[in-house]
């Protein structure tokens, strides 16, 4: 077909050939195009696979992501802009050739205008940023009205102008203008002539401008509306931006050249034969398929449009082998990289290239802290690199099509994509007002899905089609499913709101227990009458694969219970895997108006919903990433990498070892193996081992390494760490990169019983002096001063080094029983009830300090503002070597909340004790339900090094299973703590109160109290901890990781001088 479309016919089709509507730009409509759901575009060319004309066939055989061509020209750069918050105040004749824009401001394209000072960004999850007029029963149906006032005076318009020149050698060709992404609706003029109109902000739009351009300089004018009727289908959980946020280009093709083509690939079940077919090109054409070594392996033409390959190299995320297809039609030469991959539902399982592959994924928004929705190629590559290095094999495009280069990157480097259409009408919800049931939205829903498929069906990384997100299901989506199957029957369809009509079931944020039950349901025959639900509209079917499209809500300090999810997933074929919500925190840089004393540059911080006083907003609910906005590796990502790993060592009850290979297509012996022997936390031996050739998706025997036990003290707690590394480098993963680790118990046990009260010391070894205010103990190099008023230590010196000291009367540094933490975003399930219990307001009421022999007894009644509290008794015994043992007993009383976050002793150590060493899990932050990636060992860091950054400050920096921990100054002097059971240890320059009340939460007006380091180091030595779970949007921690109303608890702590 001719790529140039007659806009009058297009308009007639869009409007259902409504005879009452005049077909001209000057006609008067009941509503402008940007408030008319019947009009999605004017003069927009059909969707097509991305390809550009090339000069020579050899240009296609390049290692570059995109081949060089003289037939494409980027129009990115500095453009002129005028911005108005009210459409009526926009500059209405700016598109005219003679218009004077000399007083206009300049903006870089691509960019989001809100990140360049025009208007403000706004974050909302479910609610539209404008009034909800999505129902045709509303007299203002599809209009854009201010949410607060109901007036039509708030829909910012950005008017752009730039000039460009068409290369002289493009004469005689069709000239196409391409916008890769504009939010959300826009009109286009070239040289003062209206070219067209488009919506659907996340897919490209192209216009034929051949008749509008001229030799020399040309004027391009674009009028962009922040919101339009299409915005009712773009209600994704994200910052709302506007403007030309992706590339703008022009390109030229021969008059009778190629517009689009469809690449169809099939594989036999044994993967030994592949078929390639090419369709969609009218007239005479030919094509050649080249392998990765640039050898031609197949030829096709209009007379023979298919070819068969024997023993093809297949594409998978593990080995993303790409062929290069070069298509020729006359002078038009095009290139597309091709991968042979099959994916289907077989029985109750999802099967990829004949294997039951698990999708180990994340959801990904396009997000950049400086540029908003505008994401550079470098950042895209960084995302892929981090994913490949951390065992992520799947990305759900949550919740819209991405920049076209993202798909090409995933083709090249190997990621499975759940390719989602730009459809979400969340606020109208899922019932009778759901947009999937309203006929007026059918055209847009179907068209957005069709265009998504046509643009990206030739990309082998696309593995599932997804119809959108969180929109009420109905006939509109059934029509979309039919349309997708007609365009591409080779890929299963995912639709989390309409499981009954989709190829796979889907679910959001279930508990581990639900996942186990769903796995069992999947084991049943299809005809089984049983069913299971998580929410009323999410029916699950027996014998059908299930995909967790969103789970493990990674908001703030999060990703608890991840190992349990995957233990369940690997227990049932029907469980395909899932995608964590989500990849990167969507926070944005915002300046404070101050100078940063560290950099000398403007001070800035990560801002989130509400920081621009926008209404509505959902606070920090946009900060759900496993990485920070700036893409640093986080403790969450390390845990994800460990749980998602594909080589796992297991120890049987008889002591034998086995190796499980979870790769789908890679033998285990493709990797190098190393082992380490750890004894009482120290690595005492290491070596290499030959990884056995365990086939993909199977298990095999693994031998213990030859360990010289003579190097290990008798009874020492021993572990063997098995480490698997890449043998050869790939583009993004270097040789020697650790892909998996497992720590195996190798005998022995830590001597917790050693932490017991010292035997009664002699009078010469321990001296005690009393006065009206204090009790002072001198035990060898240790001097301890107890304050009778506080009932605990007021000063502690060891070897002449101050360990702690009350800063002033009433500012207690000695140990106190505490149970609060700076609540994480995922603690929302227990925070309110904990506050209601009064336990945030602890007060300490000491009984008299008692001296019995050479022991000190203290007892403190710890009360909240209501009935709940504790009686904390401690017996302090001192040894001549300066060590001190605290025998603690904590007895609760009163009415407790359903759960408490922690229980332990809080100390305030001297500020110079910054050097930290410990034997426990590390080196990254870990919690009781997020610690599988953290191996037991001896680790060294600093107090600041223990901390973990989160956009909204909250509890962080914990280390679990700690046998001992020491705090020292730069000379090595300090204190070491150990306990009668494993400790949960935290140390910070900030108190829990500082973190808890530093930034606003969801539902609060914005506030920001910059964190100011305290004079002392706040140390928690805890014996109980509630896990992280995923309660910010999903289940609370599992029962086994939750502290219920505590019983009387007894434990000992030993401290000794360094």
Catalytic residue set: 470, 550
How many beta carbons lie within 10 A of that of residue 187, not counting itself? 21
- Contact status, residue 220 vs residue 94, Cβ threshold 8 Å: no
- Contact status, residue 689 vs residue 659, Cβ threshold 8 Å: no
DSSP codes joined into one string, 379-420? HHHHHHHHHHHTT--EEE-TTS---HHHHHHHHHHT-EEEEE
- Contact status, residue 165 vs residue 218, Cβ threshold 8 Å: yes
- Contact status, residue 391 vs residue 646, Cβ threshold 8 Å: yes
Tokens at 225, concatenated: 């509306």
Tokens at 973, concatenated: 């002097």
Cα distance between residue 436 and residue 648, in whole Å: 44
Tokens at 1009, concatenated: 């109290």
DSSP codes joined into one string, 615-675? SS--GGGG---SB-TT----HHHHHHHHHT-SEEEEE-TTS-EEEEE--SS--GGGEEEEE
Tokens at 1024, concatenated: 């109980």
How many beta carbons lie within 10 A of that of residue 616, not counting itself? 17
Cβ-in-10-Å burial (0-12, 13-18, 19+) of 977 comes to: buried
- Contact status, residue 746 vs residue 864, Cβ threshold 8 Å: no
| SS3 at position 570 | coil
Length of the chain measured in residues: 1058
Cα distance between residue 42 and residue 513, in whole Å: 51
DSSP codes joined into one string, 758-823? PPPPPTTTEEEEE-SSEEEEEETTEEEEEETTTTEEEEEEETTEEEEE-SBTTB--S-EEE-----
**Nearby residues of 948 by Cβ (< 8 Å), 6 or more positions away:** 557, 634, 635, 924, 925, 956, 957
The verdict on whether omega for the bond into residue 582 sits within 30 degrees of 0, i.e. cis, is yes
What is the per-residue burial (b if ≥16 Cβ within 10 Å, else e) of 197-216? bbbbbbbbbbbbbbebbeee
- Contact status, residue 83 vs residue 119, Cβ threshold 8 Å: yes
DSSP codes joined into one string, 695-715? PTTEEEEEPPP---GGGS-TT
Return the bridge partners of 741, or none: 723
- The position carrying tokens 């020399």 is 216
Give the count of alpha carbons within 13 A of 990, CB side only.
Answer: 23
Cβ-in-10-Å burial (0-12, 13-18, 19+) of 907 comes to: buried
- Torsion sign, CA atoms 222, 228, 232, 235: positive
């Amino acid at each position: 077909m001719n790529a140039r479309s007659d806009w009058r016919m297009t308009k007639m089709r869009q409007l259902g050939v409504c005879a009452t509507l005049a077909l001209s730009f000057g006609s008067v409509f009941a509503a402008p195009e940007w408030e008319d759901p019947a009009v999605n575009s004017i003069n927009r060319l059909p969707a097509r696979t991305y390809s550009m004309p090339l000069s020579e066939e050899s240009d296609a055989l390049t290692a570059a992501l995109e081949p060089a061509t003289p037939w494409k020209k980027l129009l990115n750069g500095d453009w002129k802009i005028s911005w108005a918050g009210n459409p009526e105040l926009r500059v209405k004749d700016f598109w005219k050739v003679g218009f004077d824009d000399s007083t206009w401001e300049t903006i870089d394209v691509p960019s989001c205008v809100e990140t360049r000072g025009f208007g403000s960004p706004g974050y909302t999850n479910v609610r539209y940023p404008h009034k909800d007029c999505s129902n045709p029963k509303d007299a203002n149906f599809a209009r854009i009205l201010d949410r607060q006032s109901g007036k039509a005076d708030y829909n910012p318009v950005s008017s752009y102008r730039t000039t460009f020149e068409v290369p002289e050698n493009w004469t005689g060709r069709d000239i196409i203008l391409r916008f890769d992404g504009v939010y959300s609706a826009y009109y286009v003029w070239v040289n003062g002539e209206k070219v067209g109109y488009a919506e659907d902000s996340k897919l490209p739009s192209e216009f034929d401008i051949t008749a509008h351009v001229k030799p020399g300089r040309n004027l391009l004018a674009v009028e962009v509306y922040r919101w339009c009727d299409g915005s009712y289908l773009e209600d994704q959980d994200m910052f709302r931006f506007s403007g030309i946020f992706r590339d703008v280009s022009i390109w030229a093709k021969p008059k009778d050249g190629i517009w689009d083509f469809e690449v169809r690939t099939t594989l036999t079940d044994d993967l030994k034969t592949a078929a390639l077919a090419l369709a969609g090109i009218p007239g005479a054409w030919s094509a050649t398929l080249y392998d990765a070594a640039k050898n031609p392996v197949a030829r096709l033409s209009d007379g023979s449009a298919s070819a068969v390959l024997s023993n093809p190299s297949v594409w998978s995320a593990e080995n993303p082998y790409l062929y290069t297809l070069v298509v020729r039609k006359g002078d038009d030469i095009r290139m597309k990289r091709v991968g042979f991959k099959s994916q289907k539902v077989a029985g109750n399982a999802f099967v990829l290239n004949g294997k039951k592959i698990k999708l180990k994924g994340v959801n990904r928004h396009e997000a950049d802290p400086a540029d908003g929705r505008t994401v550079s190629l470098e950042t895209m590559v960084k995302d892929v690199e981090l994913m490949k290095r951390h065992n992520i094999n799947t990305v759900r495009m949550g919740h819209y099509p991405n920049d076209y280069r993202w798909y090409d990157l995933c083709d090249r480097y190997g990621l499975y994509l759940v390719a989602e259409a730009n459809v979400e009408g969340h606020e109208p919800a899922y019932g009778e007002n759901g947009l999937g049931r309203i006929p007026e939205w059918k055209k847009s829903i179907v068209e957005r899905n069709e265009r998504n498929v046509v643009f990206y069906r030739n990309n082998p990384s696309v593995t599932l089609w997804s119809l959108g997100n969180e929109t009420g299901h109905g006939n509109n989506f059934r029509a979309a499913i039919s349309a997708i199957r007609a365009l591409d029957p080779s890929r299963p369809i995912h639709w989390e709101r309409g499981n009954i009509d989709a190829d796979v079931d889907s679910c959001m944020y279930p508990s581990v227990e639900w996942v186990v039950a769903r796995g069992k349901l999947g084991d049943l025959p299809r005809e089984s009458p049983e069913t299971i639900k998580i929410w009323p509209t999410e029916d699950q079917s027996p014998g059908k694969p299930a995909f967790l499209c969103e789970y493990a809500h990674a908001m703030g300090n999060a990703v608890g219970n991840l190992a349990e999810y995957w233990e369940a997933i690997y227990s049932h074929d029907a469980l395909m895997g899932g995608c964590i919500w989500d990849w990167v925190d969507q926070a944005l840089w915002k300046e404070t108006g101050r100078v940063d004393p560290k950099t000398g540059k403007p001070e800035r911080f990560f801002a989130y919903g509400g920081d621009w006083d926008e209404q509505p907003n959902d606070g920090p609910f946009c900060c759900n990433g496993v990485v920070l906005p700036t893409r640093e590796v986080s403790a969450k990502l390390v845990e994800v990498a460990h749980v998602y790993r594909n080589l796992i060592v297991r120890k049987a009850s008889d002591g034998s070892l086995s190796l499980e290979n979870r790769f789908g297509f890679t033998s285990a012996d493709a990797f190098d193996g190393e082992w380490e022997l750890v004894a009482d936390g120290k690595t005492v031996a290491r070596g290499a081992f030959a990884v056995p050739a365990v086939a993909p998706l199977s298990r095999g025997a693994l031998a213990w390494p030859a360990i010289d036990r003579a190097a290990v003290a008798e009874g020492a707690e021993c572990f063997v760490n098995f480490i698997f590394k890449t043998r050869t480098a790939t583009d993004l993963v270097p040789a020697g990169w650790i892909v998996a680790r497992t720590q195996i118990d190798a005998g022995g046990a830590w001597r917790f019983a050693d932490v017991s009260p010292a035997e009664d010391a002699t009078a010469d070894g321990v001296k005690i002096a009393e006065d009206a205010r204090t009790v002072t103990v001198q035990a060898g190099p240790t001097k301890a001063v107890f304050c009778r008023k506080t009932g605990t230590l007021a000063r502690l010196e060891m070897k002449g080094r101050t360990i702690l000291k009350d800063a002033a009367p009433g500012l207690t540094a000695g140990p106190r029983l505490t149970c609060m933490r700076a609540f994480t975003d995922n603690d929302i399930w227990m925070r309110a009830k904990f506050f209601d219990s009064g336990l945030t307001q602890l007060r300490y009421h000491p009984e008299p300090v008692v001296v019995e022999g050479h022991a000190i007894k203290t007892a403190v009644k710890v009360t909240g503002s209501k009935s709940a509290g504790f009686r904390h008794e401690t017996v302090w015994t001192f040894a001549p070597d300066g060590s001190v043992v605290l025998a603690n007993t904590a007895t609760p009383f009163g009415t407790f909340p359903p759960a408490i976050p922690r229980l332990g002793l809080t100390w305030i150590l001297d500020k110079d004790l910054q050097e930290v060493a410990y034997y426990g899990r590390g080196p990254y932050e870990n919690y009781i339900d997020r610690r599988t990636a953290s191996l037991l060992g001896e680790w060294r860091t600093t107090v600041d090094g223990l901390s973990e950054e989160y956009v909204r400050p909250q509890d962080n920096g914990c280390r679990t299973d700690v046998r001992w921990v020491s705090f020292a100054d730069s000379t090595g002097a300090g204190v070491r703590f150990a306990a009668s059971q494993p400790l949960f240890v935290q140390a910070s320059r900030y108190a829990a109160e500082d973190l808890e009340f530093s930034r606003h939460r969801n539902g609060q007006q914005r506030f920001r109290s910059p964190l100011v380091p305290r004079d002392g180091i706040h140390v928690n030595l805890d014996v109980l901890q509630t896990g992280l779970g995923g309660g910010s949007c999903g289940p609370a921690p599992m029962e086994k990781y939750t502290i219920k109303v505590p019983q009387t608890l007894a434990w000992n702590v030993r401290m000794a001088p360094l």
